[in-house]
Amino acid sequence: MEAETGKSKVTKIIIVTGTVIIFIGLLCAMCSVIADSASKNLQNTPSSSEVEPTPTKTPKTYQKVYEIKGNGAKNSEFFTIIGDKFKVKYDCKITGQYGGVCQAYLLGENGEIKELLFNSTESEVSETVINESGTYQIKFNTIGANYSVEVEDYR
């Protein structure tokens, strides 16, 4: 019986040792997988010098893109609006001894009338907003008046 007991002790030791070895092997394999995963995460994480700043959206404002002053019947140069709207500010002063006329039209690229900007027999200071982009020209028709016009693109 003692021989069997010694044999069973040896068997138990072998089984326990084998189980411990298998357990250590599994533990090492898991550590290796965790280490590889951590290494990949470190490689894919940009350093602080590589991180691109989040662009801040600057608020849109009206920006002057064209200005003209004069008198009489004239056409402006063409100007281009890239924003989705623009403002036309105008100041037309009657200077004629017997009165005058302040009149201006906004023309499209092909000469079509897009908008009557101002039409008055009195001095006038005002502004108007046009909700389009594109290329435009202003046609002035003033008699006995001086005008000053500023165009501001909303960008």
Contact by Cβ (8 Å): 116, 48:
no
Give the pLDDT confidence score for residue 36 in this predicted structure: 61
Give the pLDDT confidence score for residue 57 in this predicted structure: 86
Give the pLDDT confidence score for residue 114 in this predicted structure: 97
17: amino acid identity, one letter: T
Distance, CA of 121 to CA of 3 (rounded, Å): 130
| 3-class DSSP assignment, residue 129 | strand
Give the pLDDT confidence score for residue 110 in this predicted structure: 96
pLDDT < 70 regions, the chain? 1-7, 10-51
Cα 53 to Cα 28, 47, 50: the distances in Å are: 41, 13, 9
Give the pLDDT confidence score for residue 54 in this predicted structure: 78
Give the pLDDT confidence score for residue 24 in this predicted structure: 56
Burial track 87-104 (b if 16+ CB lie within 10 A, e otherwise): bbbbbbbbeeeeebbbbb
Contact by Cβ (8 Å): 112, 69:
no
Give the pLDDT confidence score for residue 117 in this predicted structure: 97
Give the pLDDT confidence score for residue 112 in this predicted structure: 98
Nearest residue to 88 via CA among 70, 112, 62, 109? 62
